[in-house]
Amino acid sequence: MSVSDPAKSSERPSERDVRDRLILALYAQLKAERQTREALEYVIRNGALSPEVLAAVAGDPVPVTSSEDVAAVEKVVALDARRRASAAED
């Protein structure tokens, strides 16, 4: 038997949507930062530290989120919503 949390039961779908979008944005930012760090590590390891290379990496540090990234996060959010709904029914 599960006990519903009163704070969560009064939650409106739009509030969840805002949080979901925030989670997606934070995920995309974290992924972009990791990709930038990997690119810098690659440049350093391979001795390509020319000013042009560093300027290119620094000038575009955040790659655009791909549609695959968005789809993956939306799938996780949907699975979590279904899990919560089935837990609330128990």
> Quick check: is 55 in a domain?
yes
The reply to whether 33 falls in a domain is yes
pLDDT for 1 equals 43
Residue 2 · residue 87 · CB < 8 Å: yes
Task: List the chain pLDDT tens, one digit each, 90 residues.
Answer: 444 454 455 556 666 788 888 888 888 888 888 888 888 888 888 887 788 877 777 776 555 566 777 777 778 778 887 888 888 887
Number of Cβ atoms within 10 Å of the Cβ of 83: 10
Domain that holds residue 74: 13-80
Is 19 among the domain residues? yes
- Alpha-carbon span 13 to 48, nearest angstrom: 49
Number of domains in the chain: 1
Residue 50 has a pLDDT of 80
For residue 53, tell me if it sits in a domain: yes
Residue 88 lies in a domain: no
The secondary structure of residue 12, as a DSSP letter, is -
86: in domain? no
User: Does residue 50 sit within a domain?
Assistant: yes
Residue 1 domain-assigned (yes or no): no
